[in-house]
Structure 1
Amino acid sequence: MSTRTPRVAVLGGGVGGLSAAHELAERGVEVTVYEARERLGGKARSFPISTHDGGTVQAEHGFRFFPGFYRNLRETMDRIPRPEGGTVADSLVHTDETLITSTNGPETVSETRTPQTVAEWAEAFKPTIGGGELTPSETNYFLRRLLVLLTSCRARRERELDRVSWWEFVDAEAQSPAYRKHLAESTQALVALQPQRGSARTIGQIYVQLMLDQIDPTRPTEAVLNGPTSDVWIDPWVAHLESLGVDFHTDTPVTSVDCDGDVVTGVELAGDERATADHYVAALPVEVMASLVTPALRQAAPSLAHVERLDTAWMNGIQFYLTEDVPLARGHQAYTDSPWALTAISQRQFWDEGPFDMGADNDDAVQGVLSVIVSDWETPGVVYDKPARECSREEIKTEVWHQLAAHLNRDAERLSEDALYDWVLDPAIVEDGGRMANAEPLLINTVDSLRYRPRAVTEAPNLVLAADYVRTETDLATMESANEAARRAVRGIIDRTGVDADPPTVWDLDEPRLFDPPKRQDEVAFKLGLPHPGEAERGLRKAVRGLWG
């Protein structure tokens, strides 16, 4: 057992880095965090922006979303005290519904709370709202495909389903346009991941978790924050960590990682500074980590050798600040016919339940905030016939507003441009040579990418990873995955240093136990080289379709 408290340098102050610092500091470890940006929180941070008339509003990378299966992150939030009492977890507000709207089909509202009546239970088991466009046979077939995933063993998921796209797994090409729109393509707005590129393993597992969140009364329901993220979560978190002795250095990007053999000896920082520690937690975005992997680091930690093969996409937000509140729905909104795969939420109704005063810094000019996320930056829009990445900031604003209005104002004007006070596009979207560049892209789980992702504990004896590209049970670029990776990283440090403390608890994704017996049967079948029974049925269906042309 070590008699000296280890010094740990955490590289990156996003959710993964702050989570690692939290777990380490609570165990008496000396922690220093180095963050490249001025504000802590990574993609989750919010930041003040000056308006056209000298006021101030809070802007974000995109709205925060907390599904029920975020068990690791919620537990961390429950250990962060708020200035007004209670914990940051108390700042989570449950949503009640999701608005699903189109430009020419029926508009529907789906409940997000746990069903209470027989009719609500029947509705909850529908995989999505198709506005009457989906046939019962299509819905049934989709559920049977999910059942194949639920009864597949871990090895089959990792070695077969990860190498198949979601589009192929659910047979989207052979189904109706409604099936493709409401089921196969719904992933685009969720994780900025085209179904033709996304791993069936990743998308299917998360789809199942979201369904279970709604129908399982033992799980917490979907939630959002009661104020801007930094105000009600990140700032109290940083203050708590400082009270535990964590030292923060912002505006301090890492420029290189030095190694001697298999040991990390230090990191070079901007401004010709250098930091050393006993152990290092790399909590950096995947594109930043990939730029730091030198031959020396690759030799020390071979599992980092293929990080540069991991792909990213754009999923960034734009906030519209309104002179009147437009609630629209007590929850999220999905714009199913928007070429840019828009999702949104009207935040005033949730922020009114918290301590944040929306109009305090703008003379009460702002009465509503419509926060929108653009998930498809490759498809041409309807105003300029250009993808978002080729539009100017002003064109992006105009295009997004037009796509929203085309969905919301079909029968009556619910979104009036007269109420638009100001707008802010995520500052991570920057103009570069006449085109847009993204300073903070999002990792996407493409087909057959699992093998390129390292585990939290690397081969280097003093280097661990706490970021959303790390192999986790959550297996999706989310705050939950970053938090889970941080917990696994800290477990590695405790194991390697002998710190006299219990390791952090790590919660895996929870699936119904009734599927355990068929999973065990499939494990035997997989070892024998046999297909899943559901795939045999699917092969027969494909053969029949082929005979009929």
Structure 2
Amino acid sequence: MTAPTNRGAGVTLRRTPENPAPRRGRDRRAEILHPPAGRPRFTGDAPRVAVVGGGIAGLAAATGLAERGARVTLYEREPTLGGRLAGWPVDLGDGSRVTMSRGFHAFFRQYYNLRGLLRRADGGLSMLTAVPDYPLQHSAGLRDSFARVPRTPPWSAAGFAALSPTFGWRDLARMDPRAALPLLDVRVPDVHTALDGVSAHDFLTAVRFPEAAHHLAFEVFSRSFFADPRELSAAELVLMFHIYFLGSSEGLLFDVPAEPFPQALWDPLAAYLTGHGVRLRTATPVEEVAPLGSGGHRITADGRTERFDATVLALDTPGLRALVSASPGVADPAWRDGVRRLRTAPPFLVSRLWLDRPVDRGRAGFLGTSGYGSLDNVSVLERWEGEAARWAARTGGSVVELHAYALDPGADRQVEQKRLLEQLHRVYPETADARITDQRHEWRADCPLFPVGTYGDRPGVRTQDPTLVVAGDLVRTDLPVALMERAATSGFLAANVLLQRWGVRGQTLWTVPRRGRSRAMRLLASLA
């Protein structure tokens, strides 16, 4: 087999199952992150590594290690893989067996490392399907669309402003361009130093974005962190602006799985991992991680104790806090204190409804909403998901999913579920005449919160123990990544840290450029 050259990056890589060729998408300025040099894989007696957590971060870490020959055991407390993208079977009242999950997730094209992980199971990513548009709708009647917005910066941001009904000439004239200059040259990790002490709400107020744009566009993005913009660090909001608008030419359109998460993503990836020798121990919560004097750890799970040469902690915020609390010997007191101070975002609600009649054909598969009480978005699942489409075709109905983020922790669940349904009737009036044949509601409060002034508390991939690393969307990576891509990237980075210690070459990664891509915009930003 020849070694094809990736001309844009100036590198030559041999494509093998252990070294899949990195791909960056359409953006010619995406950055390649080379791992340190090392031997291609372990030979002889390979180290034993425990990966604690079977979400995206843990699966990425297990993949990066197993492909190089490490002996990996992955522990997951739930019966299924996928973490916050897991799915599980439920039986409906009509006898149908379907898959329930925690709801819709968007797979953006700049999620290079997440998509690279999924390519292990399907090189062509045929499990994903494109969503043609991502409209945003305000209760006042304003509506935005990304279908016609250019993808290449700076025309992406200019095009959005020109096409959006929320940006009139008078509104633009009232904006404070000097306050907006940090958006033009986002440098990572410097953006956290500059803006972590400001809330997303206060930053947007200082810029004087039009009120409608503030609510319709930027608040939608901030709430994708499951947080109220008054509490969210402005650094995270500005980083998102860079990732999707001015730092990348991949654009704001995205893909979604064509079948439920287990069938499309995690079952095939599990088969790939077991083929590389990974032991998958689902329904097995880890009870304690105890450092060994000679290096490595003793892992206790489900009443059994095993010894490992290294450990990856790839847990959500509550899980990491609980395990660290139960493992008093892990790392040092300062690190443990930082973990203890980590916070979770307010609760969110996912309501999935099986209706006895279809939603109008012209409705978008996914709609972001603002001004409809707690309703943040509406999905019509049969527009893209095969399982929902088959149910809808068989029954003549529709499968609709409603999301509400950042709810009051003391909210009455029945009241909030009823309010979501009422707002659906406002957004899609035809659903008011539909009978709900079945419904499921998921209340969760386990997403990381990035409040003002807390960037320094977030753990990095490395710890003081060279055999203990951390991965997940809560982790500080100092790269322009967020949400699912932060989870996947941190998982590969955690694997690379351990591999480097053992003299083995790690995974090659891609990222959105780590600073503003336009020289003119960088010059303007220097005036701030």
Normalised-by-shorter TM-score class: 0.7 to 0.9
| SS at 1:293 equivalent | helix
Q: CA deviation at 1:358?
A: 4.6
Q: What is the correspondence of 1:66-85 to structure 2 with a 5 Å cutoff?
A: 66-81=107-122
Match of 1:321 among 354, 375, 378: 354
Contact 1:99 / 1:329 at 8 angstroms: preserved in 2? no
Change (3 A) 1:461 1:98: closer
Contact 2:64 / 2:495 at 8 angstroms: preserved in 1? yes
Q: CA deviation at 1:114?
A: 5.7
Aligned mates of 1:266, 1:520 — CA distance in 2: 53
Aligned mates of 2:485, 2:296 — CA distance in 1: 27
Change (3 A) 1:419 1:107: farther
Match of 2:191 among 157, 162, 168: 157
Change (3 A) 1:143 1:344: farther
Change (3 A) 1:491 1:146: farther
Q: What is the correspondence of 1:223-234 to structure 2 with a 5 Å cutoff?
A: 223-234=255-266
Gaps of 5+ in 1: 379-387, 430-437, 523-531, 535-549
Match of 2:289 among 257, 263, 276: 257
2:96 matched to 1:96?
Answer: no
Match of 2:431 among 415, 419, 437: 415
Q: CA deviation at 1:415?
A: 1.8
Contact 1:323 / 1:420 at 8 angstroms: preserved in 2? yes
Q: What is the correspondence of 1:145-544 to structure 2 with a 5 Å cutoff?
A: 145-151=179-185, 153-154=187-188, 156-171=190-205, 177-212=211-246, 216=249, 221-260=253-292, 263-270=295-302, 272-294=303-325, 296-300=328-332, 302-313=334-345, 314-326=347-359, 327-352=361-386, 356=387, 358-359=389-390, 364-365=394-395, 367-378=397-408, 389-392=410-413, 394-409=414-429, 414-426=430-442, 429=443, 438=444, 440-473=445-478, 478-499=483-504, 502-510=505-513, 514-515=517-518, 533-534=527-528
Q: What TM-score, normalized to structure 1?
A: 0.78
Contact 1:113 / 1:221 at 8 angstroms: preserved in 2? no
Q: CA deviation at 1:77?
A: 1.4
| SS at 2:511 equivalent | coil
Q: CA deviation at 1:452?
A: 0.7
Q: What TM-score, normalized to structure 2?
A: 0.81
Contact 1:310 / 1:453 at 8 angstroms: preserved in 2? yes
Aligned mates of 2:515, 2:61 — CA distance in 1: 30
Q: Which has the higher contact order (CA 8 A, sep 6+)?
A: 2
Gaps of 5+ in 2: 1-38
Aligned mates of 2:207, 2:182 — CA distance in 1: 19
Deviates further, 414-423 or 488-497: 414-423
Percent identity over the alignment is 24
Change (3 A) 1:476 1:219: closer
Aligned mates of 1:518, 1:33 — CA distance in 2: 45
Change (3 A) 1:121 1:248: closer
Change (3 A) 1:60 1:514: closer
Q: CA deviation at 1:264?
A: 4.3
Change (3 A) 1:165 1:109: closer
2:82 matched to 1:41?
Answer: yes
Deviates further, 417-426 or 322-331: 322-331
Q: CA deviation at 1:330?
A: 3.9
Q: How many matched pairs?
A: 482
Contact 2:128 / 2:256 at 8 angstroms: preserved in 1? yes
Change (3 A) 1:148 1:175: closer
| SS at 2:224 equivalent | helix
Q: CA RMSD in A?
A: 3.3
| SS at 1:106 equivalent | coil
What's the counterpart of residue 13 of structure 1?
A: 54
What's the counterpart of residue 433 of structure 1?
A: none
Deviates further, 481-490 or 340-349: 340-349
